[in-house]
Structure 1
Amino acid sequence: MSDDPTQVREFFGARAADWDSRFPDDGPAYAAAIADLGLRPGDAVLDAGCGTGRALPPLREAVGPTGTVIGADLTPEMLDEAVRAGRGKAATLLRADVARLPLRAGSLDAVFGAGLVSHLADPATDLRELARVVRPGGRLALFHPIGRAALAARHGRRITADDLRAEPNLRVVLAGSGWELGSYVDEDDRYLALAVRRSE
C-alpha cells in the first residue's frame, strides 16, 4: 500500500467498519506494549494514528483521570468507529495528520504509534514532528501486535533489507529525527521499538 496520505485515508476508510472484528485478540498485546511505555498518572500521551482507538482505554488507565490522552487519525471513518466503540470517552479525538499536529511543542510526555511507521509519507520528517510535541526525555513506542516476519507472511511477502522497521534502519531514522532508540523487540507475536526524546 502507498504511504500517500490520500491513499492511506482511502485504504483505512474502506476497512474501518470491520477493522476490530478482523483483529479481535490484539487487546492484551496493546496493553502489554503500553505498560512498557512507562506512563505515570498525570502524563499526557498521544496515540498517533489511533485508528479505531484500541489503545485509548489502556492509555487512559495508565495516565489516570488527571492525565491527558489524545487520539489522532487521518481517517474520519476510523475515528467514527472509535466513538461507536465507546473509546472516545477515554480520549480527545482529533482528525489530524501526524505530519502536522495541532499541538504545542513539548506538550506531551509520550507518543504511542501502533502500525504507524509503515504508513508515514516522510518517516524522518514525521518522526521529527512527533519529537517536536514531546518534552525532552519523553518516550515513543512504535508497536505492532505481530513481528515483521509474521506481518510480511500475512501479506504474502518477504522482509527486505530496506524495511524501515528493521533495527539498523529505524535506529538511524530515529536518531536523525530527535529520538534515541532504547529497546527493540521483533518477535512473531510482538514488535515494539521504544525510543527517548533527546535534548536538543
Structure 2
Amino acid sequence: MADDHTHVQDFFSVRAAGWDRRFPEDGPAYAAAVGELRLRPGDTVLDAGCGTGRALPALRTAVGPDGTVVGADLTRAMLDAALRAGRRSSGALLLADVARLPLRAGTLDAVFAAGLISHIPHPGHGLSELARVVRPGGHLALFHPIGRAALAARHGRPLSDDDLRAERRLAPLLAGAGWRLDAYTDEASRFLALATRTG
C-alpha cells in the first residue's frame, strides 16, 4: 500500500503547480457535475481526491454558507496548489488517504470524486470507505471532465471494457461497496456516475 501511495504522490507532486493551467476549461464541467449531486443547503460534502480543489467553489455554492465542504487529498503539493488558488475559502482542506478517512461513520451527505477511481490502489476498498462515511440515502458522484474514450486516447491506449469505469464493471463494484448506481453517462465531454448509499 505504501508503494501505491508513493506512486500516486510522485505522479501528482510534480504536476501540481501547473495542473490548473493544463486543464483551464474544466470549470463549467465541474459545476455541472456538482449540480447533479442533489446537494441541499446545509449539507456536508466531501471532495475525495480534491487535487487543486477545482470542485470546491461549486460545492460551496450548492451547500450554501451553512453547509460544510471538505476537500481531502493524499498529495500535499496538490493541496498547496489549492491554497495558492484561494480555494480554502470554499472549504476545509485535509491531507488524508480517501481509503482511510479520519471521519466518523455516516457523517456526510455526499461525496464528489473527480478522476479518483483510477488512482485508488484498491477501488473496492476505497469505495467502501466512502460508503462508510456517508449516511444511508446519501450520494456519490464519480466524475471526469472527459469520457472514457477521450481519456484512453489522451493516454495513447484503446478503450477497454475492462476499464473500472465501464458500466458493466462499475455497477457491481459499487454494489459490493454499499452503493447503488443510479445514473451513468459516458460521452466525449464527460464521464459521470451517480450512486446512492444503500443500507
How far off is 1:162 after superposition?
1.1
Please say if 1:172 is aligned against 2:182. no
Kindly report the root-mean-square deviation, in angstroms, between the aligned alpha carbons of the 2 structures: 0.8
Structure 2 residues without counterparts, runs of 5 or longer: none
Map 1:29-68 onto structure 2 (within 5 A). Answer: 29-68=29-68
- Write the deviation string for residues 120-151 of structure 1: whole angstroms up to 9, x where unpaired: 11011110000000000000000000000000
1:24 equivalent in alignment to 2:17? no
Describe the SS at the equivalent of 1:193: strand
TM-score normalised by the chain length of structure 2 = 0.98
User: How far apart, in 2, do the equivalents of 1:6 and 1:170 lie?
Assistant: 25
Give the equivalent residue in structure 2 for 1:182.
182
The answer to whether residue 133 in structure 2 is matched with residue 136 in structure 1 is no
Aligned pairs for 1:88-99 (under 5 A) are: 88-99=88-99
Question: Offset of 1:85 from its aligned partner?
Answer: 0.2
Equivalent residue number for residue 73 of structure 2: 73
Q: Give the structure 1 partner of residue 120 of structure 2.
A: 120
CA distance in 1 between counterparts of 2:114 and 2:10 reads 18
SS of equivalent to 2:139: strand
Whole-Å Cα distance in 2 between the matches of residues 198 and 6 of structure 1?
32
Q: Provide the rounded CA distance (Å) in 2 between the counterparts of 1:46 and 1:158.
A: 32
Deviation at 1:161, TM superposition (A): 2.1
CA distance in 1, matches of 2:172, 2:93: 31
| Paired-residue identity, % | 70
Shift in Å at residue 114 of structure 1?
Answer: 0.2
Cα distance, 1:101 vs structure 2? 0.1
Q: Equivalents in 2 of 1:19, 1:76: separation in Å?
A: 14
**Runs of 4+ in structure 1 over 2 Å off:** none
In structure 1, C-alpha distance between the alignment counterparts of 2:181 and 2:144, rounded to whole Å: 16
Partner in structure 2 of residue 8 of structure 1: 8
Return the alpha-carbon distance in structure 1 between the equivalents of residues 31 and 57 of structure 2.
9
**Pairwise CA distance, 1:57:** 0.5
Q: Match of 1:104, SS?
A: coil
Alignment correspondent of 1:192: 192
SS of structure 2 residue aligned to 1:37: coil
Shift of residue 4, structure 1, vs aligned partner:
1.4
The CA distance in 1 between the partners of 2:125 and 2:154, in whole Å, is: 29
TM-score, normalized by length of structure 1? 0.97
